Amino acid sequence: MPPTAIDPTIISRAQTLRHSTTNGEKRLWSELKKFRKHYQLHVRKQAPIGPYIADFAIHSKKIIIEVDGEHHLSSKGLVRDKKRDAWFKGQGYRVLRFNTGELIENLGGCVEKILDEVGAV
This prediction's pTM = 0.80
Residue 12: C-alpha distances to residues 15, 19, 52, 71, 103 (Å)? 5, 12, 12, 22, 27
| CB proximity list for 88: less than 8 A, separation 6 or greater | 49, 52, 54, 64, 95
6-21 pLDDT, tens digit per residue, is 766 766 655 565 556 7
Alpha-helical regions (H) of 5-63: 8-17, 23-32, 35-39
Alpha-carbon torsion, ordered 45, 47, 53, 55, to 10 deg: -20
| pLDDT for the residue 105 | 93
Mean pLDDT on 17-38 = 84
Rounded distance between C-alpha atoms, residue 75 and residue 63, angstroms? 25
Q: What domains can you pick out in the chain, each with its CATH number?
A: 8-118 (3.40.960.10)
